[in-house]
Chains A and B, each alone.
Chain A
Amino acid sequence: MSLYVIVVGGGNVGVQLCKRLIARGHEVVLMEKDARQAQKLGNLIGDENVVHGDGCDLITQRSTGFNRADIVVSVTGEDEDNLICCQLAKEVWKVKRVVARVNDPSHETVFRELGIDDTVSATGIIFSLIDQQISSDELIPVGHLHKGHVEVVESVLSERSPLLGRAVRDIALPQGSFIVSIFRDGIATQVTGDSTFSVGDTVVAMVPIVRADELRAVLMARDH
């Protein structure tokens, strides 16, 4: 299904997002208020996909077709602009789905209370990744399955990993967990009992959330 997506804010986030959406065959318009930047964007993603104008201006919103947009995404560097753009899209133009970038993580709850349910906070994501790395010894969560009870994690094996040189069948994994794949030199390999582990391998595993600590103990070297 092709959607009409309006993206506000022609910085890096906006451009990369638009490129992907266009490649998927969606109808995409990127709004940018700086004239020179808008011209640059035209060269990057095509003039037909760029509107030079203020994404919070109701007249510009009308001429850009906010009333028929399926999704409005506001990803400028200013939280106030993202909030107002999304609120107007929702309240005035009745856009069903609005997504706002939140630059100051403390604004995330504010946005939610003001009716913007979908927010993306790069700072928040990066911070939680760092936080996870510190607390979990580099067992990086990739996603959740089965309503969050099962976690998909990945881990890059260091030279201190106890798994090096050993075969999968000899490893005692926590109950209910599996090694899904081993990425070596960027290529995913199918895991059999004979597969062995080398330094630099990225191990992708599924583990029940309650057993994540046990899996960590199996995969990771004890720190000193």
Chain B
Amino acid sequence: MKVVILGCGRSGASLALQLSARDHQVTLIEKSPESFRRLGKTYPCKLVVGNGLDLDTLERADVRNCDAFFAMTRGDNTNIMAAQLVMRNYGVRRVAAKVADPHRAEAYRKMGLFTINAAGLLAGIAKDWLLGEDYAPIDTYNNLVEEMEL
């Protein structure tokens, strides 16, 4: 698969390495090139330096022709905007946004965006590990966040 990942932080870099190890074609977009050090010495993927909300940068990463897009920067709003932009502008179907704020993650999930909330995921897995329960599908962990009363 052709996969574009926005953000070469810990999670973005790790995802890039894991997918590359399975022979998928990964392109990483990152605004500060020093972050690429997280990939180790042999860069297994294509690197694009630039702002992921900039249409020119997205074009350079060829998002138009990718099978999946992950927005993994540390900015929730950046990730949400980039994910929507890639879905709308370039018609990419498999799009995911990392969203640290559980409420925001939930709100956008309801609007039809696939959001990954690290805290909910981590807590769910930690709980299952402690209690010896089977690890569950990702949606189950996402829904662990207590629903906020509006």
User: Are A and B genuine complex partners?
Assistant: yes
Q: Which A residues are closer than 8 A to B by beta carbons?
A: 56-59, 62, 67, 78-81, 83-84, 87-88, 91-93, 104, 106-107, 110, 113-114
Cross-chain contact of B150 among A92, A106, A114 (Cβ < 8 A): A92
Query: For the complex, is B111 an interface residue (Cβ under 8 Å from A)?
Result: yes
Q: Are B80 and A80 in contact (CB under 8 A)?
A: yes
Which of the 9-residue segments B24-32, B101-109, B126-134 touches chain A?
B101-109
Give bound CA distance, A58 to B103, whole Å: 7
Q: How far is the CB of A181 from chain B (nearest CB, A)?
A: 43
Q: Are A84 and B150 in contact (CB under 8 A)?
A: no
Query: For the complex, is B20 an interface residue (Cβ under 8 Å from A)?
Result: no
With both beta carbons as reference points, the residue of chain B lying nearest to A87 in the complex is identified as B111
Contacts of A113 in B (CB 8 A): 88-89
Q: Are A80 and B53 in contact (CB under 8 A)?
A: yes
- Tell me which residues from 87 to 102 in chain B have a Cβ below 8 Å from any Cβ of chain A: 88-89, 101
Cross-chain contact of B111 among A57, A91, A110 (Cβ < 8 A): A91
- Tell me which residues from 129 to 150 in chain B have a Cβ below 8 Å from any Cβ of chain A: 148, 150
Q: Are B107 and A88 in contact (CB under 8 A)?
A: yes
The number of A-B residue pairs with CB atoms under 8 Å apart is: 57
Contacts of A62 in B (CB 8 A): 148, 150
Contacts of A59 in B (CB 8 A): 103, 148
Cross-chain contact of A58 among B82, B84, B107 (Cβ < 8 A): B107
Q: Which B residues are closer than 8 A to A by beta carbons?
A: 53-55, 75-78, 80-82, 84-85, 88-89, 101, 103-104, 107, 111, 148, 150
Q: Are B81 and A83 in contact (CB under 8 A)?
A: yes
Cross-chain contact of B88 among A88, A93, A104, A114 (Cβ < 8 A): A114
A-B contact pairs, 8 of them (CB 8 A): A56-B76, A84-B76, A87-B111, A104-B53, A104-B54, A110-B89, A113-B89, A114-B84
Q: Are B150 and A79 in contact (CB under 8 A)?
A: no
Extra inter-chain contacts (13) besides given A58-B103, A88-B107, CB under 8 Å: A56-B104, A58-B107, A59-B148, A62-B148, A80-B77, A84-B76, A84-B77, A84-B81, A87-B111, A91-B111, A92-B107, A104-B53, A114-B84
With both beta carbons as reference points, the residue of chain B lying nearest to A114 in the complex is identified as B84
Give bound CA distance, A112 to B101, whole Å: 25
Q: Are A107 and B148 in contact (CB under 8 A)?
A: no
Most buried by A among B77, B89, B150: B77
Give bound CA distance, A92 to B55, whole Å: 28
Assuming the contacts A62-B150, A91-B111, A104-B54, asked whether A80 and B78 have C-beta atoms less than 8 A apart, the reply is: yes
Give bound CA distance, A188 to B82, whole Å: 50
Contacts of A58 in B (CB 8 A): 101, 103-104, 107, 148
Q: Are B88 and A67 in contact (CB under 8 A)?
A: no
Q: How far is the CB of B89 from chain A (nearest CB, A)?
A: 7
With both beta carbons as reference points, the residue of chain A lying nearest to B55 in the complex is identified as A106
Q: Are B111 and A81 in contact (CB under 8 A)?
A: no
Contacts of B84 in A (CB 8 A): 114
Contacts of A91 in B (CB 8 A): 107, 111
Assuming the contacts A58-B148, A59-B148, asked whether A79 and B111 have C-beta atoms less than 8 A apart, the reply is: no
Q: Are A80 and B148 in contact (CB under 8 A)?
A: no
Cross-chain contact of B75 among A67, A80, A83, A106 (Cβ < 8 A): A80
Q: Are B107 and A79 in contact (CB under 8 A)?
A: no
Contacts of A106 in B (CB 8 A): 54-55
Assuming the contacts A58-B104, A104-B54, asked whether A84 and B80 have C-beta atoms less than 8 A apart, the reply is: yes
